[in-house]
Structure 1
């Protein structure tokens, strides 16, 4: 039981990260997506051109080829971070490659058409992604097709480089124009332009749909967590079987406003609604600090489920303090009761309406303790006290005669 409680707490803490990974992908999937959709493009084209021009043997024995792979991985790792800057990140690979290769090639580095293409297209992609993600987000949808066009032109550029290098020609504007002027080259170039635009328009639609799905999923996720709690959402995502009925140890906390019914009779429904909403806003953060499995608001009653008595007691103190500071302005207070033990937890309900909760005598007893507690006080059961007696300062209460109980409840009041 203890190990299950510990695992439940850890699972609850990871809920937000799990939900985010489902929406945006895991760290590995984001890394692979960046490599395949952006950072790896130049590596693929340069590798193909080097193998075509120099052969497999020269390619495999050239250390700069492996350095390029390392540089690409560094760039991919940086750009796959959520806070990576797209402009500077897209220049990492070309910068590392240049710094490493210049000592080998000297000034001839910048006379190599491959290197010129590398820098030219790296800058264009960096500028477009800088505008899209950082500087001109309002026109980001217009930049997606343009970026796809640039990537298509990069294929044409390498085609030209291979043609020039294979014939040992000196690259210049006149040669490039003449090279592209032939019917086959003209067809290839304009085909790549049109394909780039079409793929860009398709990417634009996919990006729009993905963003809409992520926004919708985020709204539904927020509503699910508000209604069911982050623990249930995380369990439903990773281990749906974990929502089946199971017996486990839980700590149940109830808090209720004393004299609330009489106070409501003296005030308008609008005033009551304002007080309750303010009450929830004050208490919920105090309860949430200690990783509740579920918080439920029912009128002026708050029920919180925790994995351990330590969490329940800490939450009770925090919630009582918040309630005291808020409710004393209205001349009322809230009593709190805490009990722990074995319960049955899971999804209860019918085919269309279901909710996660716990049932059992432990829940009923916690409610009875809370009902016998004056405003501003915290009453705990003997089970909670015996498990934490060395860490609590308490005073004994009169045994509580609770409805439906054959024996009076032994209880303690926190000081």
Structure 2
């Protein structure tokens, strides 16, 4: 029972660590999502409002007022919540863009009373939150053309924050001109045109950046699948953080070999398609038995499976499950198999020339595991004493044997084992 809990714990920890590292690289982290939301959207109006209030009240007076700190607090609250929603894939952008204005309004109403609502910049905060939130909310539900249009419009509206706050500042000054005459000033026309074009350019840049980001993420997902085929998920995850993971090194590992008995004679009377179909089913079923995070490498050679594992207890759990399921699979074909398990030191890493390399394992441990498998038949599991020693798992020895292994000067002690 202790071994069962240990195996389960190891599986959970390894699965979390491996998937988390790769997913972080593909999709970013929640922290990055919050920071992105803050700087690309949420903080724009608060910055413009702070500058407006600084100009109106003076630096010394304004920094001693609560207004600046309240709007920054509201801004950070919105970025935190909306960033978390974005990271989790929740489309709550309309509601999220109103968090900042709502928090700011509630706190300031308690401090200033209803006079707070009469300020144009405070009304503008709500107006921009509503408009940007509405456009963001609609984008996922529209066609590509409409979505691109909404993205451009969203960014143009966001750049208009500067224009609106400038107008509010100018027309709340003493002896301010009639707001209806705003565009009669050529400098104002220039300002409007530049701001509009800037928003247009930013919108197109956003569309282009998002397009290439999606292409990169899709490509990365495809490459992740291909890389895991050759390296395995655990090796790939660790190699992304440290290239030295792939360098040759000496490791203590457990090796499992599975070999179909009678395959050659069975395949002679069948079509290549039938043979390949049987083997693919055999390999696919075996993959469902492995704890993937415990697997260093899986290698298929003809009708043979080699699996290199990190943790003994997890490997033992897997091999019993493997034997049970593959036995049921092979019996209808009137085939049997042998399983050999051994533990020991080996060298693992990238092996090959400058142009062609593969992640592989070599050493006497691998050879011995293969020889043990060769001696097994009739669905039996033969495990060496090296593997069984200090193994924290419930198993039963059916028999003990001394086998001759090719290339070994001494006999190898093995036991046929079954699960209790």
Provide TM-score, normalisation by structure 2.
Answer: 0.89
* Residue from 67, 70, 74 that aligns with 1:71: 74
* Structure 1: distance between partners of 2:400 and 2:272: 36
The alignment covers a number of residue pairs equal to 405
* Structure 1: distance between partners of 2:310 and 2:345: 11
Match of 1:276 in 2: 279
Give runs of aligned pairs for residues 89-238 of structure 1, distance below 5 A. 89-133=96-140, 135-136=141-142, 138=144, 139-167=146-174, 175-238=178-241
Match of 1:242 in 2: 245
* Structure 1: distance between partners of 2:180 and 2:307: 74
Cα shift readout 1:223-264 (whole Å, capped 9, x = no counterpart): 111111122212321111222111121111112222222221
Give runs of aligned pairs for residues 11-410 of structure 1, distance below 5 A. 13-81=16-84, 82-83=87-88, 84=90, 85-133=92-140, 135-136=141-142, 138=144, 139-167=146-174, 175-289=178-292, 291-388=294-391, 391-410=394-413
* Structure 1: distance between partners of 2:357 and 2:306: 17
Match of 2:5 in 1: none
Residues 11, 291 of structure 2: 8 Å contact kept? no
Consecutive unaligned residues of structure 1, counting only runs of 5 or more, are 1-5
* Structure 1: distance between partners of 2:101 and 2:294: 46
Residues 9, 291 of structure 1: 8 Å contact kept? no
- Pair 390,281 (structure 1): closer, same or farther in 2 beyond 3 Å: closer
Structure 1 residue 132, shift from structure 2 partner: 2.0
Consecutive unaligned residues of structure 2, counting only runs of 5 or more, are 1-8
- Pair 282,137 (structure 1): closer, same or farther in 2 beyond 3 Å: farther
* Structure 1: distance between partners of 2:152 and 2:289: 48
- Pair 68,119 (structure 1): closer, same or farther in 2 beyond 3 Å: same
- Pair 322,140 (structure 1): closer, same or farther in 2 beyond 3 Å: farther
Residues 316, 393 of structure 2: 8 Å contact kept? no
Residues 233, 292 of structure 2: 8 Å contact kept? no
